Amino acid sequence: MIRHLRRAVGLGRESGQQGQEKVDLSHPARSPLGTAVVNCAVYEEGRRRPGRIANREAIELVRGRRDRFVWIGLHEPDADEFADIARLFELHPLAVEDAVHAHQRPKLERYGDTLFTVLKTVRYVEHAQLTASSEVVDTGEIMVFTGADFVVTVRHGGHGSLGPLRERLEGDPEQLAKGPAAVLHAIADQVVDQYLDVAAAVRDDIDEIETAVFAAVRRRGSGDPGQIYQLKRELLELRRAVAPLDRPLQQLSEATLPTIDADIRSYFRDVADHLSRVTSEINGYDGLIDSILQANLAQVTVAQNEDMRKITAWAAILAVPTMVCGVYGMNFDTMPELHWRFGYPLVVGVILVACLLIHRGFRRNGWL
């Protein structure tokens, strides 16, 4: 199900290295750096420069220095909030438009020496019981602009915070020293790991539905097809987030691209392998849901057939007294045993015996 990405305040924390002040996103301003800027940091040889740094100052610090780059994180900026950053980093207007308005498919685009990557984030929505209207998979987006000396991340949605990721990277200066490509790899790796977690949670829902459907068979009932269909729709949403990312990861792991060194490409190949595993699992889940849905429809068909057999059997039993009574209801003078004292009890007895014999036959054949 395609959902509107929600603008939310209080989404968690994006943080700097240990010992520095955390940015509290629960405040309406979201960040002391601006209404949409969550974090701005300059890294030199993989280590973060201390203190708060404004966007323009950060660019001045990194320009012309191969051992430095700036990482600016934003959350759901509007066009005006993003315009200044777009000018500072000379970002392409088409990519800027995509980053502001979101609702993009996963993709990788090259604008000169700048890469624009779109990744779909996913989150499993906890629910006490799966219903025909349950939300199972919630999606968001992360856009990443990668240049020679900068990374600009734009996040849409109420999940997928990059704060913990930033902290992990800052704890590994050797990896972070590889530059903006290392940040792009870490983001892609985190997103794909989230796919694996969500796929595992969806599998639990599928197991629950499968158990319910075949338990209904034992109760001579049927499961709720609405639950099955809703789960299939949510799985489709997960597939729409996962499948299109295959091509961008292939490009990042195989093609010669600016800012992506050969040693970083091997890291992207590992992420692509994980993505292939998720895609295979989702395809398997989709086939399993189809089988469960077919089993549920077969249950409904069997139950309807059983009902029709019972109705037919009772109709056949009732046809005997209907026929006999219909004949005697014609009031002919020459009806059998019409003037005999025991004629009426005899006819009723014949009807009862015939009905009992037919009923017994249907019971033996399993129709009743």
Please, what are the domains in the chain? 13-298 (3.30.460.20), 303-364 (1.20.58)
Model confidence at 65, pLDDT cuts 50, 70, 90, reads: confident
Q: Where are the alpha helices (DSSP H) in the chain?
A: 55-62, 79-89, 93-101, 163-170, 173-176, 180-218, 225-242, 246-254, 262-328, 343-364
Residues 266-294: tens digit of each pLDDT: 899 999 999 999 999 999 999 999 888 88
- Within 102-245, residue ranges assigned H as helices are 163-170, 173-176, 180-218, 225-242
- Residue 184 main-chain phi, psi, to 5 deg: -60, -40
What is the pLDDT at residue 200? 93
**C-alpha span between 135 and 119 (Å, rounded):** 21
**Using one digit for the tens of pLDDT, what is the confidence trace for 212-266?**
887 765 555 555 788 888 899 999 999 999 999 999 999 999 888 888 888 899 8
pLDDT of residue 196: 94
Out of 27-31, 130-134, 258-262, 354-358, pick the least confident. Answer: 27-31
Dump pLDDT digits (tens) for 75-102.
999 888 899 889 989 999 999 999 998 8
Distance CA 21, CA 54 (A): 15
Kindly list the distances between the CA atom of residue 54 and the CA atoms of 57, 151, 170, 337, 358, in Å, as whole numbers in the listed order: 5, 15, 19, 113, 92
Q: What is the mean pLDDT of the chain?
A: 81
- The answer to whether the CB of 138 falls within 8 A of the CB of 121 is no
Contact 165, 189 (CB under 8 A): no
Percent of the chain with pLDDT over 90: 38
Q: Apex CA 135: angle with CA 130 and CA 139, to 5°? A: 145
Cα separation of 150 and 144, whole Å? 10
**Taking the model in full, what pTM does it have?**
0.74
Contact call for residues 187 and 264 (beta carbons, < 8 A): no
Maximum average pLDDT range among 42-51, 181-190, 296-305, 349-358? 181-190
What residue type is 76 in one-letter code? E
Euclidean distance between CA atoms 332 and 279, whole angstroms: 80
**pLDDT tens figures, 130-141:** 888 888 999 999
Q: Which of 1-15, 141-155, 238-252, 345-359 has the lowest mean pLDDT?
A: 1-15
Report helix, strand or coil for 302.
Answer: helix
Instruction: Return the pLDDT at 26.
Output: 33
What is the side-by-side strand order in the sheet with 68-75? 47-48, 37-44, 68-75, 150-156, 137-146, 114-124, 107-111
HSE-CB for 364 with a 13 A CA cutoff: 6
pLDDT at 218: 54
Average pLDDT over residues 150-173: 90
Between 216 and 38, whose confidence is greater?
38
- Say what the pLDDT of residue 195 is: 95
Q: Which amino acid is at 103?
A: H
pLDDT reported for residue 137: 92
| Residue 3 pLDDT > 60 | no
Tokens representing residue 281 in the block: 């699992």
In angstroms, what is the C-alpha Rg of the chain?
34
Strand partners, 146: 115, 151
Provide the pLDDT for residue 273.
95
